[in-house]
Structure 1
């Protein structure tokens, strides 16, 4: 017996010290897609790290039983004890909770049949976009359908003004979706830059009738509705500031996600003095909280709050005065969503309140807007095999109070010059009701039609929207989508629309998609009539195309768009008249979780009216006022060219992962002319350019 026990002990000891070989595949739990570049390593020896290949496969040798950790950007890390060899491991990773401050990238994909959206952007795709700076709306502005002619987050789709493109968070319209903005509504970044998003959908034409306050297109953003299953932490540090994030379950039916961010651009300014010489100071504070509660499997509630306070100062110059433009704006946004399923119906009840109190100051001009926007809506969706019905109603309330002072003349604008105070009170209420039906005809055809009525209490007018769409799948790889109709919108003032007014927009768009293996070809033709109540009516038409190659480790695409935007009466080009707009991007993933990205854009310069003469200003010696060319005798700025670069590296670190990133906007430091500036004589002209080379670096660490 002792010999038997000794032999048994020796056998067990030998087994415990035998080499353990494991191999398998790492996939996403959401769609079972293989994850390329995931880290796999033993916790006792992090240096023995391996990464998954293009098919998500890995192999690893262990000297003894150990816990193996798997880590991948945007997914929850997890560890599992391995005690024996296994060559058929399948480990699915759960997408990370939305509270983590993971960088977001944009990998645009067509939405399958059954949806009207042209493009969907996942949360795993905005960060690697070299031109997006981790901002979802800046990422949207890199798509072929985007026709924004500046470098801001204001979204213009297929030649229409940004005011005609609705932006939504959790199905609630956001009146102003930008920050670091000016009194005219032009904003450098969106308010969503620090908000982790679960989904972004872009409707480049014919937005669905259930979206309120839109006509040309829509960008719909959604936060995660699922409950946090684990406790997560995140910390970020970059040239613009620092942030903390946290998520955790609150019992079996509730959970919370939150982040706080403190912004200070001193370090950013120090590194980019030549790139942003006008910026003198900028700081801010923002925080968000999301509470999720599941009453049952078919009923859930979500409350989201975002608040921020921002200030910035930059030097600006007019012909008659040079000084500081100062902006200060606190803002509070709260959104409540309740979802309920009953039999074949799915209901959602949405409420929102948006309040801001800004102050803008330049010379003797002061603008202090206080805006309160409210939204309430109920939406119902009926789903049966092959048929879908959507119906609902909403109301929007706008209460604007604007006070300040303005110069008594265009040239007397210094702080010492006299000014006139003013106070403007504006109240509007809009009610909308809609119905939309969608019917599948066999496996290849999908037809839809919708109708919406709109009533403005202040204008006492009834308007309507009528929409129709037809989708056809020709074989395995070809898809066609024809959509359009008449769309009505009560426009709020913004960068290109100065007064509240009705817009009637008629549009038709034909889209084509070809997908096979690694290749995707997209093309579109569109035509619009934009009829404004108080502005110049426009006729807009154009075409766009894009070719994409994507084999997981390498993604490259090139696009070309052409937009003709002219006044209907005289054929005068608008600023969005672009004879050509070319874009290209390359994103490459290397072993060791290293990613590089390169983006390029090239477009025709925008149309403007040059100064052709001067007229003396009485009482101001040497000062003159400009005489501009006739509307149909304008010219164009030089063509716009820009190249952006991004790089990132992911490191496994303890129970989490560290992400380091670098972005360089306008890599070649091209001086793209935004406008021309003049002195008080209007005889000496200078060039005012868009952003010069800008360098941005930072890091994010997430752990459980």
Structure 2
């Protein structure tokens, strides 16, 4: 969307605002905070209904709600999945009155597998932001084709393109994977995936809800140019000790939860383990088979001190490993010797202390301090060992303050301090260094005594600071809401200060329809410490910048159907690219534009699911003098259908269909044959224009059938999932033989049945 069009539409909204203001009459206000009756935890997402009217609201992340009504007598009803409904009758409102209600909801046990979300007549967003979707756990758990990984369900949302069947990573609206910000319980996670994206670290049994911003996100989020994915894990259930165990082709998991000593505390502990490598060893399969394995351990402790101080401790330790050996004469495998072995290990550790301080129903403070540990070790053995090894220690402090000084203003401010200590060690054959030396001036590389190995050691320490201030202003009560914010960021490695203004508007045409728009600057310092290394990098490299323009329409049909359409334009500048003289510079630029369409049937009744379509164009260039090219994430058309059907009380059938046009790749234009120093003729491929060809279109249908039953006297579930039901050959890449005379397609997942079992206790 062009900026001039965006400006014109903003003008139209302002004119509508003035027109509506002339007819606006004073209204009364009912507000307050909704909490869990047992833990005093604020409850977000509670539906606040006013029977007999089209008015209503949903509570915010702090539990706060607000409803505006004309003078009269009303009934207010509070409903949320997993809690008993609560109703306030005969609530009398005088003209211009401000009533405060502090509501406590009591938890209610759910029949396993039969949870139904109760949705009010009005669930449109009242908080202005960009392209945001709030996704609840029941909307992502147990979906067909997800392979027990929520990120694969997120890949079906509008604006999202997947890397492929072997990865849960996401391209959002033409952005790269590393341009997304991923948070778990407010903690920044640099690499939230196992095995380079094969499966995420997010355990679907623990997730409470997910906030997904495809663009135009508010000023409280920094260090992202493309999208924000924020995952919140739930608290443990209080009461008698309970839990579950489950197993499938993908992994086995166990969960236990219960009450802590004291009046209201709870704990939750989970373990998830993958055992591919052990099964392959037990079956004595050839060493040429990939042997992956991963594990996750997660802990959450929650303890309130009174009703104003809520404390929680979060712990996560996850890791993965991969072994692979090749001893083959396959002409499509080009090895330096007859045998090669690869060993890769990775680990992530997170410790987080979280404190919520509820000063009043109009003021809140949320602070957390965290330590994040990243470890990576990849070794190649043939016959000389070479490796890449690094350890990164991260120290985070984040605090946010929310204050509601006036009826129509909500002011938020906060800061984020981040310190990184990174140690890298690399060792590789001297021949590799000789090959790369002409395009890299790094003088920190040294040769070994026998001159067969080159090695390098780096240590990078840098500090990042960010702060923001934003005001959510209800300019026209019940009609127009604005969120204007400013974010400031600083990185000591470059001594650069960036300022990011942001603005979002929501205009309610009526109780079921709204217009939304957003504009802003979104800077992101490089996450690679080598970029700022004194020898290997460039300390003058600036933070790349994305400028977002977004305009959308949202409409709700009844209580459970939602339709949304959005158009966007993203302008990119100061992208970091490699340079033979100074290693890195800011010569890159680009843009992406497109439109997203989304239609959803909420979890209610027998049917639920969504249909999404995205049209996207993304182009970039690495130097002003070079032409634009299509980056790997450019995907023109993407269509996804996700559906769930409950034919009977204990059965559930899930279906997922994904279709997209092919991604770009660089073809081989021709092969020339030249003699080497011994006179042997060797083939040399000549590549065509960068990413000038496209892979074939992708299409995949997945099916899942769930059945609830009693297992050893306990409630349980068994499911059968079939990935790629029609066994379609979707091309992932092409591979050539040694003389480039033949090409072979590398296909993605074939038809793959998966059987799983879960037991509750």
TM bucket (normalised to shorter chain) is 0.7 to 0.9
1:215 & 1:566 partners in 2: Cα distance?
A: 15
Q: Tell me if structure 2 keeps the 8 A contact 1:111–1:119.
A: no
Secondary structure of 1:285 counterpart:
strand
Which of 612, 616, 634 is 1:559 aligned to?
612
CA deviation vs aligned residue, 1:281-307 (integer Å, no higher than 9, x gap): 233333111111101111111111111
Q: Tell me if structure 2 keeps the 8 A contact 1:145–1:544.
A: yes
Alignment of 1:525-540 (within 5 A): 525-535=567-577, 536-540=588-592
Secondary structure of 1:154 counterpart:
strand
2:106 & 2:641 partners in 1: Cα distance?
A: 33
1:32 & 1:509 partners in 2: Cα distance?
A: 29
**Residue aligning to 1:374:** 395
Alignment of 1:266-665 (within 5 A): 279-314=289-324, 319-321=334-336, 323-343=340-360, 344-362=362-380, 365-383=386-404, 384-409=406-431, 419-440=453-474, 441-493=476-528, 502-517=543-558, 519-535=561-577, 536-549=588-601, 552-567=605-620, 570-614=627-671, 616=674, 618=676, 621=680, 623-631=682-690, 634-652=692-710, 656-665=714-723
In the comparison of the two structures, how many residue pairs are matched? 608
1:269 & 1:402 partners in 2: Cα distance?
A: 32
Q: 1:115 to 1:101 in 2, by over 3 A?
A: farther
Deviation at 1:102, TM superposition (A): 12
CA deviation vs aligned residue, 1:491-511 (integer Å, no higher than 9, x gap): 3149x9998862201011112
Secondary structure of 1:139 counterpart:
helix
1:154 lines up with 2:169 in the alignment: yes
Deviation at 1:662, TM superposition (A): 2.2
Q: Tell me if structure 2 keeps the 8 A contact 1:227–1:254.
A: no
Q: 1:242 to 1:439 in 2, by over 3 A?
A: same
Secondary structure of 1:449 counterpart:
strand
Deviation at 1:449, TM superposition (A): 0.6
Q: Tell me if structure 1 keeps the 8 A contact 2:598–2:610.
A: yes
Q: Tell me if structure 2 keeps the 8 A contact 1:197–1:222.
A: yes
1:367 & 1:303 partners in 2: Cα distance?
A: 33
**Residue aligning to 2:147:** 133
CA deviation vs aligned residue, 1:575-613 (integer Å, no higher than 9, x gap): 222221111122111213211111111111111111123
Deviation at 1:351, TM superposition (A): 1.3
1:469 & 1:282 partners in 2: Cα distance?
A: 44
Q: Tell me if structure 2 keeps the 8 A contact 1:311–1:326.
A: yes
Deviates more, 1:315-324 or 1:587-596: 315-324
Deviates more, 1:434-443 or 1:369-378: 369-378
**Residue aligning to 1:61:** none
TM-score by length of 1: 0.78
Secondary structure of 1:210 counterpart:
coil
Which of 745, 755, 761 is 1:687 aligned to?
745
CA deviation vs aligned residue, 1:335-394 (integer Å, no higher than 9, x gap): 211110113211011111111222123456521121222211111011353221110111
1:672 & 1:270 partners in 2: Cα distance?
A: 29
1:519 & 1:605 partners in 2: Cα distance?
A: 31
Secondary structure of 1:163 counterpart:
helix
2:346 & 2:137 partners in 1: Cα distance?
A: 28
**Residue aligning to 2:439:** none
1:272 & 1:505 partners in 2: Cα distance?
A: 51
Q: 1:634 to 1:587 in 2, by over 3 A?
A: same
**Residue aligning to 1:51:** none
Secondary structure of 1:202 counterpart:
strand
Q: 1:595 to 1:273 in 2, by over 3 A?
A: farther
2:231 & 2:295 partners in 1: Cα distance?
A: 22
Q: Tell me if structure 1 keeps the 8 A contact 2:640–2:659.
A: yes
Deviates more, 1:435-444 or 1:498-507: 498-507
Q: 1:241 to 1:158 in 2, by over 3 A?
A: closer
Deviation at 1:101, TM superposition (A): 13
Secondary structure of 2:525 counterpart:
strand
> Where does structure 2 lack aligned partners over 5 or more consecutive residues?
1-44, 50-80, 85-104, 327-331, 436-450, 578-587
Deviation at 1:271, TM superposition (A): 14
Deviation at 1:323, TM superposition (A): 4.5
Secondary structure of 2:199 counterpart:
strand
1:226 & 1:236 partners in 2: Cα distance?
A: 18
Q: Tell me if structure 1 keeps the 8 A contact 2:267–2:301.
A: yes
Q: 1:360 to 1:521 in 2, by over 3 A?
A: same
Q: 1:622 to 1:373 in 2, by over 3 A?
A: farther
Q: 1:556 to 1:377 in 2, by over 3 A?
A: closer
> Where does structure 1 lack aligned partners over 5 or more consecutive residues?
1-28, 34-73, 78-90, 182-186
Deviation at 1:408, TM superposition (A): 4.0
1:619 & 1:396 partners in 2: Cα distance?
A: 53
Q: 1:409 to 1:647 in 2, by over 3 A?
A: farther
**Residue aligning to 2:265:** 254
Q: 1:268 to 1:355 in 2, by over 3 A?
A: same
1:301 & 1:102 partners in 2: Cα distance?
A: 32
CA deviation vs aligned residue, 1:393-437 (integer Å, no higher than 9, x gap): 111122222213234456999xxx954222222222110011011
